[in-house]
Amino acid sequence: MKHDTLPNFVVKPGSRVSIDRHDPADTGTFEDKEGAEKQVKRNVERLNELQEVLYAENRRSVLLVLQGMDGSGKDGTVQHVMSGLNPMGVTVVSFKKPTEEELDHDYLWRVHKVCPARGDITVFNRSHYEDVLVVRVLKMIDKAECKRRYRQINEFERMLADNGTTIIKCFLHISKDEQRERLEARLHDPLKNWKFQPADLDVRKQWGDYMGKGGAYEDMLNATSTEAAPWHVIPADKKWFRNLAVSSLLVSMLEGMKLKMPRPVKDWARVRVE
């Protein structure tokens, strides 16, 4: 294995990104699955240490947003990257079709109420970005409304960041061929049958609307990668590299927060427990 640093997958705010210029099978300089998995294990151990300090400090929080096409590995990322952490301080939220109550509010209402509390890490498995992706492709909103929502989302995330939430947004970039293989695996594996939905095939037929030039994902990345909450395009064809990239990004971001254990309220050095 060539042991080198990971590429920088960030979408620079203000720049224009073309999805077709990003290779979903990219593994940087990493060629060895076994070596990458060992690094993921080390990353998870480090995340566990950092999470403990974040929880004890109780001043800031972390929001990890996982977005991508069906089969891109949102569930797998949660399983391999987050499962080693203390569940006391980690929450995973999956956004499905809005309920009647949620539809009676603005589209960000159901999102804001499940954002992380101070000291916590929250993972969004899908997210508020469904409201500029699915609804756009299904023509439930027009272009003008979509642009308004981009602005509202940017302002919403800016508000979260200003109040101490570090936002890490990962677009899990999978190829159409790899998606086909993963959907077929769901059909043929009894343990994965439950994950397959007929609607998955309908969405696949709309691949170009989502993933094509000027499609919903490309416009989303360009409109909502900001200084407060930049997007990262994570190659997701190789599951082991996806896990490595996301876990390394999390470690880097948490270490960059310069977390510190709180000082004790008093000097306990002379206290004895009888």
Q: How far apart are CA 270 and CA 265, in angstroms?
A: 14
Is 96 a member of any domain? yes
Residue 239 confidence (pLDDT): 97
Residue 95 lies in a domain: yes
Determine the Cα–Cα distance for residues 208 and 39; give it in Å rounded to an integer. Answer: 35
State which residues form the domain around 206. 19-256
* Average of per-residue pLDDT across 175-194: 87
The arithmetic mean of pLDDT across residues 76-87, rounded, is 92
- Whether residue 266 has pLDDT greater than 90: no
213-249 pLDDT, tens digit each = 999 999 999 999 999 999 999 999 999 999 999 999 9
> How high does pLDDT run on average in the chain?
92
Which residue would you say has higher pLDDT here, 197 or 5? 197
* 229 occurs within a structural domain: yes
Task: Note whether residue 261 is domain-resident.
Answer: no
Does residue 175 surpass a pLDDT of 90? yes
Find the mean pLDDT for residues 150-178. 98
Least confident of 4-8, 201-205, 218-222: 4-8
Mean per-residue pLDDT for 180-184? 92
Q: What is the pLDDT of residue 268?
A: 67
Lowest model confidence (mean pLDDT) among 36-50, 114-128, 212-226, 259-273? 259-273
Q: How many domains does the chain contain in total?
A: 1
Question: In which band, very low, low, confident or very high, does the pLDDT at 2 lie, cut at 50, 70 and 90?
Answer: very low
Rg (CA), the chain: 20
CATH number at residue 197: 3.40.50.300
Higher pLDDT, 197 or 228: 228
Residue 2 counted as domain residue: no
Task: Give a yes or no: residue 114 inside a domain.
Answer: yes
Q: Is residue 118 part of a domain?
A: yes
pLDDT at position 255 is 96
Stretch 196-211: mean pLDDT: 88
State yes or no: pLDDT of 1 exceeds 80.
Answer: no
Q: Decide: helix, strand or coil at residue 171.
A: strand
What b/e sequence results for 63-97 when a residue is b if at least 16 CB atoms lie within 10 Å of its CB, and e otherwise?
bbbbbbbbbbbbebbbebbbebbeeebbbbbebee
Choice among 1-5, 197-201, 219-223, 259-263 with the minimum mean pLDDT = 1-5
Of the pLDDT bands very low, low, confident and very high (cuts 50, 70, 90), residue 182 is very high
211 within a domain of the structure (yes/no) = yes
Determine the residue type at 144.
Answer: A
Q: Tell which wins on pLDDT, 199 or 15.
A: 15
